[in-house]
Amino acid sequence: MTCAEFQAVLAYIIDNGGNAEQQEHLRQCAVCSGLVSDLKYIAEQAKLLVPMMDPSKKVWDGIKSSLEREGLVKDSARGSLLGSTPLTRWGPANWLLPVAAALLVAVGLLYYQNRTGGQQATLQPSSDNAADASIQAAPLQSASMGDVQDQQVLSEVAAHIPALSQSYRQDLQRVNAYIADARGLVTRNPDDEESRQALMEAYQQKAMLYKMAMRHSLP
Partner 1 sequence: MRPEKGELTQAKKTLVPGLTEADAIDRAKQGDSESFEALYGMHKRRVYSLCLRMTGNTAEAEDLTQEAFLQLYRKISTFRGESAFSTWLHRLAVNVVLMHLRKKGLPEVSLEESLEPQEEGPKKDIGARDNMLAGSIDRVNLERAIESLPPGYRIIFVLHDIEGYEHNEIAEIMGCSIGNSKSQLHKARMKLRDLLKTSRTERATRS
Residues 35-74 that bind partner 1 (CB under 8 A): 35-39, 41-43, 45-49, 51-56, 58-60, 62-63, 66-67, 72-73
Least distance (Å) from partner 1 to the CB of residue 125?
28
Nearest to partner 1 of 80, 113 (CB atom): 80
What DSSP string runs through 12-36?
HHTTT---HHHHHHHHH-HHHHHHH
Residues 96, 182, 200, 217: which binds partner 1 (CB under 8 A)? 182
163 binds partner 1 per the rule CB under 8 A: yes
Q: Name the residue among 140, 146, 130, 141 with its Cα closest to residue 87.
A: 130
Nearest to partner 1 of 132, 181 (CB atom): 181
In sequence order, which residues have a C-beta less than 8 Å from that of residue 219 and are 6 or more positions away? Answer: 89, 160
Least distance (Å) from partner 1 to the CB of residue 8?
3
Question: Which listed range, 89-97, 106-114, 119-127, 159-167, lies at the site for partner 1 (CB under 8 A)?
Answer: 159-167
Least distance (Å) from partner 1 to the CB of residue 122?
28
Least distance (Å) from partner 1 to the CB of residue 130?
22
CA distance readout (Å), 48 to 21, 22, 42, 51, 167: 32, 29, 10, 10, 36
Size of the site for partner 1 (CB under 8 A): 74
**Crossing angle for the helix pair 3-13 and 30-47, nearest 10 degrees?**
20
Distance in angstroms between the alpha carbons of the first and the last residue of the chain = 75
